[in-house]
Amino acid sequence: MNKDNLEITELTEAFDDVDFPRLERSLRHPRTLISAGLSIAIGVATVLACIPLFSVLYMLIIRGGKKLSTELFTQLPPTAFEAGGGFGNAIVGTLVMVSIAAAIAIPVGVMTAIFLAEFGPQSKTASIARFCAKTLTGLPSILAGVFAYAAVVLATGSYSAPAGGVALALLMLPTVILTAEEAMRMVPVKMKEAAIGMGCTPTQVAWKIVLPTAMPGILTGVMLAVARAAGETAPLLFTALFSNYWFFEDGQSQLMEPTASLAVFIYNFSGMPFENQIEMAWAASLVLVLLVLAINVTGQLISSRTKTR
Amino acid sequence: MNHTLPSESEFGGEASISAPPSKFDVFADRGFRSATAMFAWLTVALVFLIVYEVGGSAMPAIQKHGVGFLTTQTWDLQSEQFGVLPEIWGTLYSSFLALIIGGFFGISIAIFLTQDFLPRKIEWAFKNIVELLAAIPSVVYGLWGIFVVIPMLRPTATWLHENLGWIPFFGTSLSGPGMLPAALVLAIMILPTVSAISRDSLNNVPNRLKEAAVGLGATRWEAIFGVILPTASKGIFGALVLGFGRALGETMALAMLVGNSNQMSISLFSPGNTLAALLANHFPEAGKDEEPVLMYAALVLLAITLLVNICGAFVLKRASRRTAGSH
C-alpha cells in the first residue's frame, strides 16, 4: 500500500515537470493551419474527381433518355437523312460477340487459374504464366484487334463475329485468370486437407472442393471481364466492322459476315453531322452504360452476398 | 444416443469411409493436371503469338522503311512515305499530360480514402464512385468529350491563347479536337487505376509507423508527407507507371478527341495524333499497301506498352516484397 502511494506521488511530481500547454497545438499555429488547409484541399480534389462521372451520367440521361423508346431495340440503324430507326442489330451483335468471347476466355482462364492456384503455385511455369497474364492486362485493346485481324480475319478471309469474339476474349482472359486464382487461394486449406484425408486426388479436390467454394469469386471476375468486353470498341473496328442488317437474316445466322455492335454504333454515329444520328449515339451510350453497370452490379452482389455468409 | 453405423453394403463392401484412389482416379488426376499446365503454357504462348503475328505482318514494312519509320513525319499513301514520329510524340505527350493530371488526383484520392479523413461509410461510397469511372466504356467518354469537354474548354483556351500566346503551351488556338481535351479525358480514364493501386500500397503501410510519427508530435500531414508517402512511394510509383501504360494504349477517346492531325506541337490546344488513334482511323479502310505499315505502327505501340507495363509490374512486385517484410 505504502509503496503504491509513493509511486503515485512520484508520478504527479513527474507530471509537474511537463509543460502541458506546449503539448497542445493552437489552431492558429502555422503547422496546424497548413494541415487543415491540405485536408480541405484534398477533399476538394476528391470531390472534383467525381464530377466527370456525374456529368457523364447526367448527359446520358438528359440526351439519351428522351430518345428512349421500344423502336430503338427493334429497328435497324437509320441511313443519312432518315428519321427514327434503332440499334436492335447492334445489341444482338454485342451479345453474340461477348458470348463467343466468354465461351473462349472462361474455360481457358479458369483452367489456367486452377493450375496457378492449386497444382503448381510455386512452380516456374506458374510464375511465368502469372507474369504473362499481368502483361496481358496492360495490352492495349486496339492491339487485341490487330492480333485478331492478323490471326482470324486474314485466315478466314472475312470480317466476322468470331474474329471480334477472339479479340474480346484476349482482353477478358487476364482478368478471368487473375481473379479466379485470387478466389481459389481464399479457399480454406483445412477444407482441402479434409478432402485429401478422405483419399481424394488433387483433381477431385480441385473439382469438388475448390471450384464450388471459389465459384462466387470466379463469377465476380467473369462478370467484370464481360462488362469490360461489352464496352470495348477499338478491337471491333476492324475485326467485326459494322453491319446495317440483323445477325439472323432469313432464318439463318450471318456468322461469317461483318457484325454490328453497340460500341461501334456509338463511334460511327457520334461523328455524323445529322442531329438524329447524334441523338441515337447518346441513346445507344445510355443503353450500353446501363448494360455494363448492370453486369458490374450483378458481379458485386454475388461477391458481397457470399462475404456475409 | 442412437448411433447406427451404416451397413457394409453402402460402402461397396468395405467398411471404411475413405478409400485410396482407384486406377481410374489416378489416371484422371494426371490427365487433368497436365491439361491445366497446358492451359497455363497456352497463356504464355499467347503473348509470343501476339508478338509473332503482329511482327510477321509488319515484316514487309520493316524491311522497306527500316528505322527511318520512327524518325520521319510524313504519312503519304501516294508517294509511299510513311513515318510515325508525330504519332509517337502524340502518344507520349498526351499520356504524360494525362499522367500529371490523373496522377495528382489519383494519389490525392488514395490518401483521402486511406488516412481516416472520413467515416468508413462515406469512404466506401467514394471508393465505389471512383471505381464506377472505370466502368464507363471509353467510346462513351469520347462522345462526352466531344459534346461536353471541348465546348467547356474553348472559352478558356481562346482567352489563354489570345493573352498568353507567347507561352509555347498556348501557341495555337483550340479549334475543336486537340491535345488538352484528349489528355483530360485520358486522365479521367486512368484515375481509377492509379487510385486503386496507390490505395493498396497506402493500406500496406504499417499503422505503427504512423502512430509513432503522431506520437512524436507530427501533424496529420507531417505524418503523411514524412512517413506514410515515403513508405508507400514504391507502390505509388508502380501505380503511376501502370497508369501511364494504360494511357499509352487507350484508343477510342483519343481517336475521337485528339484531332488526327499529322503534326508535332508542344501546344496544349493543337490537334495531334497517337499510335492507337492512327490504327483506329486508318486500319478499317487500309489497302494492301498500307496494311503492313500500320502493322509496323502496331508493333511500335506493342513494344512501348509492353516495356512500360513490364516495368510497372516489376516495380510493384518489388514494392510489395518490401512492405510484406515490415509487418
Chain A residues inside the 8 Å CB shell of B53: 147, 150-151
pLDDT for position B170: 86
pLDDT tens-digit profile of A90-124? 999 999 999 999 999 999 999 999 999 999 888 99
pLDDT for position B280: 92
Residues of chain B with pLDDT under 70: 1-18, 321-327
Closest residue to B219, CB basis, from A32, A45, A203: A32
Chain B residues inside the 8 Å CB shell of A126: 40
CA-derived radius of gyration, chain B: 27
CA distance A38 to B137: 33
Q: Do the Cβ atoms of B144 and A59 come within 8 Å? A: yes
Does B6 fall in a domain? no
Chain B residue whose CA is closest to A266: B139
Q: Do the Cβ atoms of B108 and A46 come within 8 Å? A: yes
Closest residue to A111, CB basis, from B36, B105, B252: B36
Whether pLDDT at A302 is above 90: no
Give the count of beta carbons closer than 10 Å to the beta carbon of residue A22: 8
Does B286 fall in a domain? yes
Does A5 fall in a domain? no
Mutate: best of B17, B22, B107, B136, partner A, most A CBs <10 A: B136
Does B67 fall in a domain? no
Residue A248, strand partner residues: A253
pLDDT for position B285: 84
Does A206 fall in a domain? yes
Instruction: Look over chain B and give the mean of its residue pLDDT values, rounded to a whole number.
Output: 88
Does B30 fall in a domain? no
Q: Do the Cβ atoms of B43 and A281 come within 8 Å? A: no
End-to-end Cα spacing for chain B = 50
pLDDT tens-digit profile of A219-266? 999 999 999 999 999 999 989 988 888 887 766 667 788 899 999 999
Q: Residue A266's closest CA among B142, B254, B251, B284?
A: B142
Domain enclosing residue A284, as ranges: 91-308
Instruction: Look over chain A and give the mean of its residue pLDDT values, rounded to a whole number.
Output: 88
Does A288 fall in a domain? yes
Does B248 fall in a domain? yes
Does B299 fall in a domain? yes
Query: CATH code at B172?
Result: 1.10.3720.10
CA distance A161 to chain B (A): 15
Q: Do the Cβ atoms of A136 and B47 come within 8 Å? A: yes
Residue B82, strand partner residues: B75
Does B73 fall in a domain? no
Does A166 fall in a domain? yes
Chain A residues inside the 8 Å CB shell of B143: 266, 270, 281-282, 285
Cβ A162 vs Cβ A255: under 8 Å? yes
pLDDT for position B66: 87
Does A24 fall in a domain? no
pLDDT for position B250: 92
pLDDT tens-digit profile of B269-286? 999 999 999 999 998 888
Cell reading at B7: 451397413
Does B40 fall in a domain? no
Q: Using pLDDT thresholds of 50, 70 and 90, give the confidence band for residue A9.
A: low
pLDDT for position A7: 64
Mutate: best of B133, B140, B222, B295, partner A, most A CBs <10 A: B140
Chain A residue whose CA is closest to B252: A234
pLDDT for position A66: 87
Does A59 fall in a domain? no
Number of domains composing chain B: 1
Give the count of beta carbons closer than 10 Å to the beta carbon of residue A141: 25
Query: CATH code at A238?
Result: 1.10.3720.10
* Mean pLDDT, range A20-44, rounded to an integer: 80
Domain enclosing residue B216, as ranges: 84-326
pLDDT tens-digit profile of A174-229? 999 999 999 999 999 999 999 988 888 999 999 999 999 999 999 999 999 999 99
CA-derived radius of gyration, chain A: 29
Does A189 fall in a domain? yes
Number of domains composing chain A: 1
Q: Do the Cβ atoms of A238 and B221 come within 8 Å? A: no
pLDDT for position B326: 47
CA distance A2 to chain B (A): 33
Does A147 fall in a domain? yes
pTM of the model: 0.88
